[in-house]
Amino acid sequence: MRRSRRRSRDRSRRARHQQPPDPGPRGGRWPSTGRGQPDRVTPPAAAIDRDDERGGPILGRLGRTYQLEGALHCRVEGEQEAAALRRAERLLVDGHGALRVRYVRTHGSGHVVAFQGFRSPERAQVLVNATVRLDPSDAAATALLTAARPALVGLPVSLDGAPFGHVDAVLEGPQTLIRVRGPNALHLVPAAAPYVSVRTDEVALHDPPPGLLDDPDGA
C-alpha cells in the first residue's frame, strides 16, 4: 500500500515538471517589476513633428551643446535672421522635422536655442551641426524675415575688408543664396556659410573658399 502511494506521488511530480512553461501575457513579456532589466522607454514624440519637412528660409546652423539643459549654440546668418529666430515658436531642423522652441537667448555675440523634448546634452547631441530653417507656418517670425529680405538687395559686398560688389538678388530655396554682382561676373554665395556675415549696411565675405568668386571667363 505504501509503495502504491509513493508511486502515485512520483507520477504527480513528473507530470508537473513536464508541463509547458507559462507563456506569460500577450507579446511574451511580463510587466516590469522593478527588478532586473527595465522595459525600454521610448521618449515622448509630442515635441517632434517628423513628417513636417517643408523647406523654409535658412536661419543658421546649430553648434555644440550648452550647459546641462540640452540647449545648443546657434550661428545665424545675420541680424534679420536673428530677429526671426528670437520670435520663432517652431523651427525646422534638417533631419528632425519641426521642433517646438523652449527658448532662444543671446549668448555673447551669438544665440543659444533649446527645444522641447531635448532636455539633456546627450539627447541634444543628435542636433549638432544641423541646419535650422524658419517654419513657413510661423507667421510672426516669417513676417520679420520676409520684410527684411528685399532690404539686402543693393547692399555693398566686401571681400576681406575691401569693396567687391553689391547684392544683386536673394534666392530662396532649399539653400538661401545671395547673388553677388562682382567686378566682372555674378556669383552665388550661400547665405549660411561661415565666411558670410550679413549686416544692416553690408554683406561681408571673409576668406571664402578658392574659386567661389573667380571670374568664369578668366578675366
Q: What is the pLDDT of residues 53-110, one digit of tens each?
A: 446 788 899 999 998 889 999 998 777 788 888 888 999 999 999 999 999 998 887 8
Q: Are residues 56 and 142 in the same domain?
A: yes
> Is residue 128 located within the same domain as residue 196?
no
**Claim to verify: residue 135 and residue 182 sit in the same structural domain:** no
Please, what sign has the CA dihedral across residues 76, 81, 83, 86? Answer: negative
- Judged on CB neighbours under 10 Å (0-12, 13-18, 19+), 191 is buried
| Domain extent at residue 75 | 48-148
On whether residue 16 sits in a domain, the answer given is no
pLDDT of residue 64: 94
Instruction: Report the predicted TM-score, pTM, of the whole model to 2 decimal places.
Output: 0.48
Q: Would you say residue 201 lies in a domain?
A: yes
- Please indicate, yes or no, if residue 178 is contained in any of the structural domains: yes
21 domain-assigned: no
CATH of residue 187: 2.30.30.240
Separation between Cα atoms, residue 68 and residue 134, nearest integer Å? 26
Residue 31's pLDDT is what? 41
Residue 116 CB neighbour total at 10 angstroms? 15
